[in-house]
Amino acid sequence: MNSEKVGLSADFSKLNSLLVTGHADPVVRVWDGRSSDSLTHKLKLDSPGIGRSTWTSGVCWSPSNSFTLAASNYDGALRVWDVRSVTTPLVVVKNMDESEDIVKVFGVDWFAGLLVSAGEEGVRIREYNN
């Protein structure tokens, strides 16, 4: 499993035996070590209007849905994806401060049906039903 970019985050799903990784670019990679190619999907984190390439700082599989993963990014957004449809995320949550400036999100995880993110603004907890 080789990537052309530095890895920043990784998570393995016990539900689907896939590995998801975040790198120093705006692409989430999904890997299947059981296949000869191993790289199965690349999910592009679209950041229109940002004007720079952003890094995928955190990735995490849903503990209850084998098709759902979350990704955090330096563009200030948290995205939830269904890997069966990789063209568009299911949900995009923008993280802005009170002045509407973008605040980086450094990590994401699921906890008891909640989506937890950490970044420049501290920790945020959101409900997400998947």
Cβ-contact 23, 8 below 8 angstroms: yes
Sheet holding 7-12, edge to edge: 7-12, 19-23, 27-31, 39-44
This prediction has a pTM of 0.83
Task: Count Cβ atoms within 10 A of the Cβ of residue 33 and give its class: 0-12 exposed, 13-18 middle, 19 or more buried.
Answer: exposed
User: pLDDT of 34-55, one tens digit each?
Assistant: 876 776 767 665 544 444 457 8
User: pLDDT of 54-73, one tens digit each?
Assistant: 788 999 999 999 999 999 98
